[in-house]
């Protein structure tokens, strides 16, 4: 078995929460709480409007970096309400969450659009965090792995191994997002293992071994250690429990079993 050298990522998805002032206050408190943390990457995805305040709060340190929650694939143009990679990079954004379940299910984003966004992000030098996950009815019908494969196929379409190895996948079962119901360790490892196997077939083993696969869906201080102990779980994408500095700091300080 290849040695696992993937640095864990603990990512906060703030969704449509926090003004600039609230984001600044949160980050000041968080940085004070996680000062000594090593060997992991901490990522915060604020609302677009809070990026400037967040960026200025994060200056002078490199433990915590910024993600955007979405972006459009065009560089500029008549696309009312959209935002481009270059606009995000102005604030030092390094990562972008793409294909989040809420984008797919509330805003109707499909696999094809998400694939175009992934390619645009990579071309601009942003790291995509590609979200995938099945709904409850897809799981109940036994279609989980098939759904994940379709989402991976579209998300990685036209992406070469060089770019793929730097990408991040977030497995977020839709039925676990914001519900308080977390996937069991067995369910999470099964899905993550399947994603890793798919990546091995699509690229090569060494590429697949480098790609970080995060789990998302009701991650909390009380369940993060158990999830992080799974061999193919390389981090967490956290919604609700990332909104309070105390609870997100505990998640950042999780036992990764890799140090
Ligand atoms: P949750 O959200 O932690 O509130 O379930 C996770 C996500 O949507 O990324």
Evaluate whether residue 34 is within a structural domain: no
Q: Does any domain span residue 29?
A: no
- Domain region containing 248: 9-15+40-252
CA 253 to chain CA centroid, nearest Å: 18
* Site to substitute for ligand 1 among 15, 106, 178, 243, most atoms within 8 A of C-beta: 178
pLDDT digits (tens, 9 = 90+) for 18-60: 999 999 999 999 999 999 899 999 999 999 999 999 999 999 9
User: How close is the Cα of 201 to the center of ligand 1, in Å?
Assistant: 29
Note whether residue 23 is domain-resident: no
Atom of ligand 1 nearest to the CA of 131: 9
The count of domains in the chain is 1
> Ligand 1 centre and the CA of 67: distance in Å?
15
Question: Phi and psi dihedrals of 96, rounded to 5?
Answer: -140, 125
Model confidence, pTM: 0.97
Per-residue tokens: 229: 């102990």
Residue 259 belongs to a domain: no
Asked, for residue 97, whether it belongs to a domain, the answer is: yes
Per the residue annotation, which of 57, 172, 192, 209 is the catalytic one?
A: 172
Residue 44 Cα to chain centre, angstroms: 10
In a domain, 118, yes or no: yes
Contact assessment for residue 24 and residue 57, using Cβ atoms and an 8 Å cutoff? yes
Q: What is the pLDDT of residues 79-133, one digit of tens each?
A: 999 999 999 999 999 999 999 999 999 999 999 999 999 999 999 999 999 999 9
Give the C-alpha separation, 228 to 215, whole Å: 9
Provide the token pair at 42.
């901490």
Confirm whether 134 is domain-assigned. Answer: yes
- Note the Cα 188 to chain centre separation in Å: 15
**Residue 171 CA, ligand 1 centroid: distance in Å:** 11
Which CATH number is 73's domain given?
Answer: 3.20.20.70
Ligand 1 in contact with 138 (CB < 6 A)? no
- Would residue 31 count as lying in a domain? no
């Amino acid at each position: 078995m290849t040695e696992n050298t993937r640095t864990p990522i603990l990512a906060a998805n703030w969704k449509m929460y926090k003004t600039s002032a609230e984001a600044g206050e949160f980050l000041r408190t968080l940085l004070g709480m996680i000062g000594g943390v090593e060997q992991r990457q901490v990522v915060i995805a604020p609302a677009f409007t809070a990026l400037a305040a967040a960026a200025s709060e994060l200056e002078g340190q490199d433990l915590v970096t910024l993600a955007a929650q979405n972006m459009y694939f065009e560089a500029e143009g008549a696309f009312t309400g959209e935002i481009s990679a270059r606009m995000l990079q102005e604030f030092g954004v390094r990562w972008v969450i793409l294909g989040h379940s809420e984008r797919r299910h509330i805003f109707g984003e499909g696999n094809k659009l998400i694939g175009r966004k992934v390619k645009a992000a990579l071309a601009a030098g942003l790291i995509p965090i590609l979200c995938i996950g099945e709904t409850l009815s897809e799981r109940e019908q036994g279609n989980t792995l098939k759904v994940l494969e379709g989402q991976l196929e579209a998300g990685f379409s036209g992406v070469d191994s060089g770019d793929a190895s730097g990408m991040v996948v977030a497995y977020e079962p839709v039925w676990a997002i914001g519900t308080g119901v977390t996937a069991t360790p067995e369910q999470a490892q099964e899905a993550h293992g399947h994603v890793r196997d798919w990546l091995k077939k699509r690229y090569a083993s060494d590429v697949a071994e480098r790609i970080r696969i995060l789990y998302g869906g009701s991650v909390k201080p009380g369940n993060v250690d158990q999830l992080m102990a799974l061999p193919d779980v390389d981090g967490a994408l956290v919604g609700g429990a990332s909104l309070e500095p105390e609870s997100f700091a505990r998640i950042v300080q999780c036992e990764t079993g890799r140090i």
